[in-house]
């Protein structure tokens, strides 16, 4: 019985070694390295930054931080969203803090932010072939 267990163990080790490909490890390293360098605020789930407290005080006073996390806008898109909230939801004038909030949102939640894309969203699908259901 010990002999069969030893052979099984050696076989499992060999299968593990054969299936290990260094190329897969290299391909995954940049994503995990980026994810390790991004600090996330435990309370909101937003990326920790020097301007986070301003964003928390201006944005999460009215709505959940999840509304920020689910969007990726350009600076103009974030400005448009702020104006919409001011028009329809009585958001106050942000004054001088608007630039700080926009800098944070553009840097951390813009459409081309590598860390945020790797951490929160998959790449867009390309060349999708749809088929008809019967």
Mean pLDDT by 10 residues, the chain (134 residues): 73 60 44 62 92 93 92 93 95 94 93 59 79 85
The residue count of the chain comes to: 134
pLDDT for residue 33: 44
pTM: 0.59
Give 9-44 pLDDT, tens digit per residue.
666 666 665 555 554 444 444 444 445 578 899 999
Long-range CB contact pairs, 78-83, < 8 A, 24+ = 78/102, 78/105, 78/106, 78/109
Domain boundaries, the chain: 40-123
Q: Please identify which residue in the block is written with the tokens 């329809």.
A: 88
How far apart are alpha carbons 97 and 103 in whole angstroms? Answer: 10
């Amino acid at each position: 019985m010990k002999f069969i267990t030893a052979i099984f163990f050696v076989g499992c080790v060999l299968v593990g070694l054969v299936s290990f490909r260094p190329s897969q490890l290299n391909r995954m390293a940049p994503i995990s390295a980026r994810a390790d360098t991004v600090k996330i605020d435990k309370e909101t789930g937003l990326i920790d930054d020097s301007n986070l407290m301003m964003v928390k005080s201006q944005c999460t006073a009215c709505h959940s931080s999840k509304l920020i996390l689910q969007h990726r806008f350009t600076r103009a898109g974030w400005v448009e969203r702020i104006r919409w909230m001011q028009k329809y939801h009585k958001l106050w004038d942000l004054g001088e803090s608007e630039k700080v909030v926009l800098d944070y949102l553009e840097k951390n939640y813009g459409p081309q932010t590598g860390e945020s894309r790797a951490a929160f969203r998959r790449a867009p699908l390309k060349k999708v072939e749809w088929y008809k259901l019967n």
